[in-house]
Amino acid sequence: MMDETQLIAAAQSGDRLAFDELVRLTYLDVFTLAVRLTGNDEDARDVVQDAYLRAWKAIGGFRGDAQLSTWLYRITANCASTHLSRRRRHRTEPLLPGLDPTELRHEVQPEAMTESMLELQRIAAALDELPPKLRSVVVLRDVYGLAHEAIAEELGISVSAAKVRLHRARKQLRDEMFEERRSERAV
């Protein structure tokens, strides 16, 4: 069985089955990022498909100076950004009016969870509330650890704009997380 480096080399020489194996190895990670960026599973599926098609076309140019996962995150971020801006131009009604698709992912009963799992869910829910422009930056920086320069490049914005968006996003998340808790205690 080939390791990741061997699979990359094989894919670079045109072996599609090797690339398929790389897709299998990274799919869950890339799909999760796409959901975090788009806010719903349906858009995420389209973004992931686009991202892997672009990755397959560009794999020959992957030099290995970054990790494969980081390279894929950047492609996914770029695809999500394109997808979301296209979506804003052709805005459509949600498939199920009145039902927030993010609710579908948070079905577990709160009392069955540990404190840290609960906090994780609160953060995920707060992220879903952010406007897409702010959410993209905070997800790429604070969840996936991309550099400001890489984020700016993939989202087509300046580095300073990326930093401003990151600070705004963190502030909004902080308000959402801690102000809410304070008001819960007051009740």
Partner 1 sequence: MRYEDVADLLPGLADGTLEIEDRTRAFIESDLRCQAELARYRRLIRGLGTLRAAYLEPAPGSLAQTLNSLAVEGERRVARSILTGRRIAVAAAALGGAAIAGVATAAVMTARTRRRVLAG
Task: Give me the residues that bind partner 1 (CB under 8 A), please.
Answer: 16, 19-20, 23-24, 27-29, 31-32, 35-36, 41, 44-45, 48-49, 52-53, 56-57, 105, 116, 119-120, 123-124, 127, 138, 142-145, 148, 163, 166-168, 170-171, 173-174, 177-178
- The nearer residue to partner 1, 134 or 155, going by C-beta atoms, is 134
In whole angstroms, the minimum distance from the beta carbon of 49 to partner 1 comes to 5
Please state the φ and ψ torsions of residue 29, each to the nearest 5 degrees. Answer: -65, -50
Give least dist CB 66 to partner 1, A.
16
The 8-class DSSP code of residue 104 comes to G
- Side chain identity at residue 111, one-letter code: E
Query: What b/e sequence results for 56-71 when a residue is b if at least 16 CB atoms lie within 10 Å of its CB, and e otherwise?
Result: eeebeeeeeeeebeeb
User: Closest by alpha carbon to 75, among 146, 160, 7?
Assistant: 146
Tokens 């804003």, residue located: 88
- Shortest Å, Cβ 16 to partner 1: 5
Shortest Å, Cβ 5 to partner 1:
21
State both tokens at 60: 């020959």
d(CA 101, CA 117) in angstroms, rounded, equals: 20
Closest CB to partner 1 among residues 2, 117: 117
| Residue 20 CA: distances (Å) to CA of 17, 29, 44, 66, 158 | 5, 15, 19, 20, 34
The enclosing H or E element of 76 equals helix 68-89
Q: Which is nearer to partner 1, 4 or 29 (CB)?
A: 29
Least distance from partner 1 to the Cβ atom of residue 100, Å: 15
Shorter beta-carbon distance to partner 1: residue 105 or 133: 105
Residue closer to partner 1, measured from CB, 89 or 149 = 149
